[in-house]
Amino acid sequence: MSETLLSMRKITKRFPGVLANDEISFDLFKGEIHALVGENGAGKTTLMKILYGLYSPDSGEIYIKGKRITIKNPKEAINGGIGMVHQHFMLVPPFTVLENIIIGEETKKFGLLDESLPAEKIKALMEKNGLIVDLNSRVEDVPVGLQQRVEILKILYRGAEILVFDEPTAVLTPQEVEDLFKTFRQLISQGKGIVFISHKLDEVLEIADRITVIRKGRVIKTLNRDEATKSLIAELMVGKPVLLEVSRPDVKEGPAVLEVKYLSLQDYRKVNILTDVSFTVHAGEIYGIAGVEGNGQTELVEVIAEAAPILHGDILLNGESITNWDVRQRREAGISHIPEDRHRYGLLLPFSLAENLTLGMHHKEPFVNRFQIINKNKIREHAKAVIEKFDIRTPSELTTALALSGGNQQKVIVARELSTEPKLLLAAQPTRGVDIGATEFIHNQLMIAKKEGRAVLLVSADLDEVMSLSDRIGVMFKGRIIKEFEREKTTKEEIGFYMMGEKEHAGN
């Protein structure tokens, strides 16, 4: 048996009201990739934050190469040879790649910052691991895939031997994932160990040597790769058998609801974010947008949901141009929007559930009378009906949104957006950060919307989600829809190629 790099013993961490980690034991051998899987909120990230010194455990022990250590802060974790690539990159966008790598581990020359020595060292690391990045570029100008390389270089620069990757593939194309896995193999061949946190079971099965499943803060089981199957892992994660496929109703497509024509958009630096984007979504159709994040999907949804100064092009709803309408007009015309960043856009947390459930329609009768005076009874009645219909768990409609659990907050947003009976539903990353139960709920709601003849525009970084829900799929790359597919007539691999822009020209 190979040497144990890391051993975490009976780690317990309690947050107010939640037992996030309940006597979790986890270990990592030299030269292995150990996957840590579990639903959102199962305790994976908490465990890794404890390892990295961001949280302190209530009890439990950590051993590195057999030696017991306590990790009170990230500095001590770094000194212990632990490196972490966080799900949200920890980079300083206006700084150069080099600066980003050396922060906290700088070298001095005559008391001043020295960049030449670190540059040498980093170049050697880049060559050894095949992670080439231009050291003098600003990180904000570097594409997402390369930013991840910067993150990896950061931890290698600090001499990490225990490498933790938290959902590293979420922002990558299938081909970039392959590259990342090559890097993984390269790294373990040097005797390092990798903790791979993911919820994409195919990837886990492809790369991991061992798989540890945690649920509700406890380790359920650690499997060797050869004894694991997708359905077994999923069952262990959820605690009951799960249906991985969505049942798709057969719906006859209706007339065009949303038509986007030659839409172009620039940012404040006059850089094109969207270029000549054209597509149509019909009633009863789910149109999926696939693409690596940051290729204009977020802006595309925003420009349809909100008024934004576009460069040129037109947006039509049921044949009428809405390009110059404001948000309120668009909402009144039947556009609903499940926003991507729901923490930021979704709810007024200190307001009651009832108020949140009428948000966006709060200015219309019956919620206000013609003197603009609020009718609290109508707001409550509406809320009670929606809570019942969408099965939102809350003590009362007067409870503040703040007091609901994350999953229920998500439900509130989905319920509100569907309760307006929209003609067009914009769903941006609707299941990001959502556990399997809530994902099922949201997928079902999208299907119901389709069945009811609504048009749905689905944007998701999760290619599996796009593939399983959509009727047609448009692939976005650098602000263009470079290819459109019927779902039945394509494969994940084919879409992956387009996501990288490899067939950019062939596509047009």
Partner 1 sequence: MNFGLILFFLVKGLEISAPIAFAALGAVFSERSGVVNIALEGIMIVTSFTIVWASLALNSIWMGLFFAVIAGMLIALIHAVVSVTFKVDQIVSGVAINILAFGLARFLSQKVFGQETQTPTNPHLFPQLLGINSMAFVLIPIAIIAWFVLYRTVFGLRLRTVGENPEAGDTLGLNVLGLRYAGVIISGAMCGFSAATLFPSQWISGMTAGRGYIALAAMIFGRWDPIGAILASLLFGYADTFRIMFETKIPIPSQFVQMFPYILAVVVLAGMVGKARAPAADGKPYEKGED
Partner 2 sequence: MPVIKFKFNKYKLLELFAPVAGFIASIIVLLIIVIAVGESPGKSLVAIYKFSLSSSAKVATILSMSIPLFFAGIAVAFAFQSGVFNIGVEGQYYFGGLVGAMAGIYLHLPAFIHIPVVVLFSMLGGALWALIPAILKVTKNVHEVITTIMFNSIALAFVNYLVNGPLSGLGKGKSLEPQTAKIQSTALFGKLNGAFRFLGWNVPDYVYLDYSLIVAIIIGFLVWFVLFRMRYGFEIRAVGTSLDVSKYAGIKVKRVQLAAFILSGALGGLIGLQEIFAIRGYYTYSIASGLGFDGIAIALIGKNSPLGVVFAAVLFAFLKQAGYGLQFYTAVPNSVIYVITGLMILFIVVINEVVAAYIRALRKKEAV
CB 180 within 8 A of CB 82: no
Measure the CA–CA gap between 63 and 382, rounded to whole angstroms. 55
Q: CB of 500 within 8 A of CB of 176? A: yes
Return the one option of partner 2, partner 1, none that residue 103 interacts with (CB less than 5 to 8 A, by type). Answer: partner 1
Residue 451 touches partner 2, criterion: CB under 8 A: no
Binding mask 268-297 for partner 1 (x = CB under 8 A): x-----------------------------
Among candidate residues 320, 275, 339, the one with its CA nearest the CA of residue 423 = 320
The separation between CA 355 and the C-alpha centre of its own chain, rounded to angstroms, equals 28
Our CB check for partner 2 shows the closer of 309 and 350 to be 350
* Residue 15 or 262 having the CB closest to partner 1: 15
User: Of the candidates 131, 449, 66, 39, which has an alpha carbon nearest to the alpha carbon of residue 283?
Assistant: 449
Which of 334, 351, 384, 503 lies at the binding interface for partner 2 (CB under 8 A)? 351
359 binds partner 2 per the rule CB under 8 A: yes
Q: Which of residues 73-92 bind partner 1 (CB under 8 A)?
A: 73-75, 78, 84, 86, 90-92
- The residues, ordered by sequence, that sit 6+ positions from 16 with a Cβ below 8 Å of its Cβ are none
Q: Which stretch binds partner 2 (CB under 8 A): 38-46, 151-159, 388-396, 443-451?
A: 388-396
408 within 8 A of 394, measured Cβ to Cβ = yes
**Amino acid at site 21:** N
**Closest C-alpha among 61, 69, 77, 84 to residue 11:** 61
99 binds, among partner 1, partner 2, none (CB under 5 to 8 A by kind): partner 1
Residue span binding partner 2 (CB under 8 A) among the ranges 12-20, 48-56, 64-72, 164-172: 12-20
Instruction: Tell whether residue 363 is a contact of partner 2 (CB under 8 A).
Output: yes
Give the dihedral sign, CA 447/173/233/20: negative
Determine if 130 is a binding residue for partner 1 (CB under 8 A): no
**Contacting partner 2 (CB under 8 A), which of 230, 328, 389, 492?**
328
Q: How far is the CB of 433 from partner 1 (least distance, A)?
A: 9
Half-sphere exposure of 157 (CA within 13 A, CB side): 27
- Which is nearer to partner 1, 103 or 506 (by Cβ)? 103
Q: How far apart are CA 436 and CA 439, in angstroms?
A: 5
- Judged by CB, which is closer to partner 1: 49, or 411? 49
Report the alpha-carbon distance of residue 387 to residue 385 in Å, rounded.
6
How many of the chain's residues bind partner 2 (CB under 8 A)?
A: 41
- Which amino acid is residue 49, in one-letter code? K
Q: Which of 246, 152, 244, 220 is nearest to 190 (CA)?
A: 152
Instruction: Give how far Cα 441 sits from Cα of 69, 230, 395, Å.
Output: 43, 21, 20
Give whole-number Cα distances, 459 to 26, 258, 347, 464, in Å.
36, 15, 20, 12
How many CB atoms lie under 10 A from the CB of residue 341?
A: 12
Q: Is 16 in the site for partner 2 (CB under 8 A)?
A: yes
With contacts defined by CB under 8 A, name the span among 111-119, 470-478, 480-488, 495-503 that binds partner 1: 111-119
- According to the binding rule CB under 8 A, does residue 103 interact with partner 1? yes
Residue pair 57/12 in contact (Cβ under 8 Å)? The answer is yes
Structure tokens at 474: 């448009």
Q: DSSP state, 261?
A: E
Binding partner of residue 368 among partner 1, partner 2, none, CB under 5 to 8 Å per kind? partner 2
Q: How far is the CB of 2 from partner 2 (least distance, A)?
A: 41
51 scored as a contact of partner 1 (CB under 8 A): no
* Closer by beta carbon to partner 1, 108 or else 252: 108
C-beta of 90 vs 374, nearer to partner 2: 374
Name the one range near partner 2 by CB under 8 A: 281-289, 291-299, 360-368, 482-490: 360-368
In 248-352, alpha helices (H):
297-305, 327-332, 342-345
Establish if 160 lies at the interface with partner 1 (CB under 8 A): no
Which positions from 356 to 395 touch partner 1 by CB under 8 A, shown as an x/- string? ----------------------------------------
In the chain, the N- to C-terminal Cα span, in Å, equals 54
- The partner in contact with residue 287, picked from partner 2, partner 1, none with C-beta cut-offs of 5 to 8 angstroms by kind, is none
Rounded alpha-carbon distances, angstroms, from residue 73 to 49, 104, 117 = 10, 13, 27
Beta bridge partners of 335: 424
| Binding region for partner 1 (CB under 8 A) out of 70-78, 125-133, 169-177, 243-251 | 70-78
Q: Does 347 bind partner 2 (CB under 8 A)?
A: yes
**Interface contacts to partner 2, rule CB under 8 A:** 15-18, 305-306, 326-328, 330-331, 337, 339, 344-351, 355, 359-360, 362-363, 368, 372-374, 393-396, 398-399, 402-405, 408
Binding residues vs partner 1 (CB under 8 A): 15, 45, 52, 54, 73-75, 78, 84, 86, 90-95, 99, 102-106, 108, 111-113, 154, 268, 406
